[in-house]
Amino acid sequence: MNIELSEEQRLVRKMAKDFAASEIAPRADEIDRSKRFPREIFERLADLGFMGMQIPTEYGGAELDTVTSALVMEEIARASGSVALSLAAHNSLALGHLYTFGSEHLRQRYVKPLSTGERIGAWALTEPGAGSDAKSIQTTARKSGDEWLLNGEKFLITNGSVADFLVVMARTKPDGRGTGISAFLVEKEFHGFEVVKDQEKLGLHASPTSDLLFRECRVPAENLVGEVNHGHQDVMSILDGGRIGMAAFSVGIAQASLDAAISYSKDRHQFGRPIAEFQAIRFMIADVATRVEASRLLYLRAAQRKDLRRPFTKEASMAKLFASETAMKAAWTSVQIHGGYGYVVDYPVERYFRDAKLCEIGEGTSEIQRLVISREILKSLQFG
Ligand SMILES: Cc1cc2nc3c(=O)[nH]c(=O)nc-3n(C[C@H](O)[C@H](O)[C@H](O)COP(=O)(O)OP(=O)(O)OC[C@H]3O[C@@H](n4cnc5c(N)ncnc54)[C@H](O)[C@@H]3O)c2cc1C
C-alpha cells in the first residue's frame, strides 16, 4: 500500500490546516462555552468547498476523494470538535446519503444548495429506543395519495435544530425488521415536523444535538431517497464511509491533545526542570504519539480502499475503533500532563477530554465496531 499523498492532497490539507488555525481555533473555546452554532464559520467552510467535499462539481461540490476529505476532517477537528462534528453530519451522512441514493430530481433540488453551503443538512436515524439496533426504529412512513406521512421521534440528531434539509429514516413495512426501512428528505418547513429541543451534553457544545418530532409530517412522494424498503442497507453503507470521517475526526482531537501536552511539558517546571525531562512524562508522550500515527495510517488505508472501490467495511471499523480509543487516551494523557491546569477551562485540554468521548459512541460504539470487525474476519472461516 502506497500512502504517499499527491501534491493536490497536500495542498488541500494545508488549506484546511491554515484555515482551521487562523479562523476556527481562536473561536473554539468561545463557541463551546456559549453553546453557539457558528454559522459564520460554516459560510467560510463553504467558500473553501468543504460543505460538499465529495460531491461532483456539477452539483456544486469540490469533488475531493475520500483521502483528502478525511485529511480535511482531521484538520478541522484539531481546531474544534464541534465544527468538525457538524461538518461530518452534513457532508458524509446527510449529503452522502442524498447524493448516493437520491433520484436526479432530489439531486437537482437539494444537493446543490447543501454542497454550496447555502443550506445545512442533518441525518436522522437514532430514536429513544433504537441506537445500535438501528433495525428496530419505530418512526413510520405511510403512503397517502402522492405524499408520505411520517410519525415518530428522533433522538440525538447532530444539526437537527439548525438543518434546513434532513434525511430521515422511517419504517415503511409495519411488521418488517430491517428490511422495511426507507429514507425521506424532509425540509424543516414541512407541516408536522418539529424540533423538540437541543440536548445538554458533556462536550461538543457548539454542535447542536437535537430531539425531533414527526406528527403526520407530510413529505412529497418524490422525496423518498433510494428505493422503498431499502433504507437499512443504504444506512449501513453510509455508516461505513462515515466511520472513516469519524476516525479522522478522532485523530484531529488526539493530535490537538498531543500538541498541547508536548508544548506544556516543555514550559512547565517542577523540581527545577521542565517536566518534559521526566521519563514518566516522556513515555506518556511516546505512547500517544505512536497511537496517533497508527490511527492516521489506519484511516488513510480505509479511505484509500474506498477511493479504489475495494471493500473497506473492516478497515473503516478498525480505523474508527482504534482512532476513537486513541482520542480518549490522548485527551486523558494530556489532562494528566497538565496536572491541575488540565482540569480548568483556561487550557483547551479539558475541552478535548469532553469532546473525545463522543468518538467512542457516535456512528457506532466501540462495541459495535468490534462486532463488525469480528464478523468481517470470521465470515471467511469455514465451520464444521
Ligand atoms: C453528540 C452525538 C451526536 C449524534 N449524532 C447523531 C446523528 O447525527 N444522527 C443519528 O442518527 N444519531 C446520532 N447520534 C446517536 C448515536 O449514533 C448513538 O448514540 C449510538 O449509535 C449508540 O446508540 P445508543 O446511544 O442508543 O446506545 P445503545 O445502542 O443503547 O448502547 C448502549 C451500550 O450497549 C452497548 N451495546 C449495544 N448493543 C450491543 C451489542 N449487540 N453487543 C455489545 N454491546 C452492545 C453499546 O456499545 C453501549 O455501550 C449521536 C449521538 C451523540 C452522543
- Of the chain, the end-to-end C-alpha distance in Å amounts to 35
Provide the b/e sequence for 7-32 (b: ≥16 CB within 10 Å): eebeebbeebbebbeebbbebbbebb
Residue 137 alpha carbon to ligand 1 centre in Å: 13
pLDDT, tens digit (0-9, with 9 covering 90-100), for 95-133: 999 999 999 999 999 999 999 999 999 999 999 999 999
Provide the b/e sequence for 189-215 (b: ≥16 CB within 10 Å): ebeebebeebeeeebbbbbbbbbbbbe
What CATH number is given for 232-378 in this structure?
Answer: 1.20.140.10
In sequence order, what E strands does 16-99 have? none
217 phi and psi angles, rounded to 5 deg: -70, 125
Looking at residue 1, its pLDDT comes to 73
Residue 156 alpha carbon to ligand 1 centre in Å: 9
210 phi and psi angles, rounded to 5 deg: -115, 155
Fold category of 121-229 in CATH: Butyryl-CoA Dehydrogenase, subunit A; domain 2 (2.40.110)
pLDDT, tens digit (0-9, with 9 covering 90-100), for 247-299: 999 999 999 999 999 999 999 999 999 999 999 999 999 999 999 999 999 99
Considering Cα of 208, then 214, then 220, then 222, what sign does the dihedral take?
Answer: positive
| Residue having the nearest C-alpha atom to atom 11 of ligand 1 | 125
Which residue of 90, 159, 365, 366 sits with most ligand 1 atoms within 8 Å of its CB, as the best mutation to test the pocket?
Answer: 365
For 145, the grid coordinates are: 395519495
Residue 364 alpha carbon to ligand 1 centre in Å: 6
Looking at residue 176, its pLDDT comes to 62
| Residue type, position 338, single letter | H
Looking at residue 115, its pLDDT comes to 97
For 328, the grid coordinates are: 480518549
| Residue type, position 166, single letter | L
State how far the Cα of 26 lies from the Cα of 11, in Å rounded to an integer: 22
Looking at residue 384, its pLDDT comes to 45
Looking at residue 174, its pLDDT comes to 79
Asked if domains 121-229 and 232-378 share a fold, the reply is: no
Q: Over the chain, what is the mean pLDDT?
A: 96
Considering Cα of 11, then 17, then 22, then 27, what sign does the dihedral take?
Answer: positive
The conformational region for residue 362 under phi > 0 = left, psi -120 to 50 = alpha, else beta, is beta
Please name the CATH architecture into which domain 7-115 falls. Orthogonal Bundle (1.10)
pLDDT, tens digit (0-9, with 9 covering 90-100), for 46-82: 999 999 999 999 999 999 999 999 999 999 999 999 9
For 109, the grid coordinates are: 433540488
State how far the Cα of 152 lies from the Cα of 374, in Å rounded to an integer: 33
For the chain, give every domain's residue range: 7-115, 121-229, 232-378
